[in-house]
Amino acid sequence: MSFEAAELLRKRAHEFLEEAERLLENGKFDLCVFNLEQYCQLITKYQLFRLIGSFPHTHSLKLLLNELSKHMQSVKDLLSEKNIIYIGALEDAYIASRYLPRDYEEAEARELLRFVKEVFRPAVEP
């Protein structure tokens, strides 16, 4: 992967986060949560590429974060017992919002957006 391709990952990640906010306000909670997961996945892959020149080809957010935590203390701190429930919910959203008859409630989407903006993003994009 080239530096330009990595920058595309970063740009797309931010677009997914912006879109998640729009989707939440439009009442499309399932798509909001899916976009939040995509932001988290892509920005984590971007940071891995930036730091080590590659990233695991997986959709598992936990696996990606575990790898990144080897290089960033803030990500190691992010993987606390308190936060792992949110990270698990985001990882589950990748499959659930695409393939399962799972409806997300507004409160779930709002709380996951809050977590991503206030906790996840500062840890992964310090």
pLDDT digits (tens, 9 = 90+) for 33-54: 999 999 999 999 999 999 999 9
Question: What pLDDT is attached to residue 3?
Answer: 80
Question: What pLDDT is attached to residue 34?
Answer: 95
> Count of domains in the chain?
1
| Dihedrals phi, psi of 88, to nearest 5 degrees | -65, -40
Instruction: Tell me how far apart the alpha carbons of residues 89 and 99 are, in angstroms, rounded to a whole number.
Output: 15
Cβ atoms of 57 and 42 closer than 8 Å:
no
Question: What pLDDT is attached to residue 23?
Answer: 98
Predicted model pTM: 0.94
CATH number at residue 97: 1.20.120.330
Question: Domain residues for 93?
Answer: 3-124
Give the pLDDT confidence of 49-77 residue by residue, as tens digits.
999 999 999 999 999 999 999 999 999 99
User: Which of 3, 33, 17 has the alpha carbon at shortest distance from 122?
Assistant: 17
Query: What percent of the chain clears pLDDT 70, i.e. is strictly above it?
Result: 99
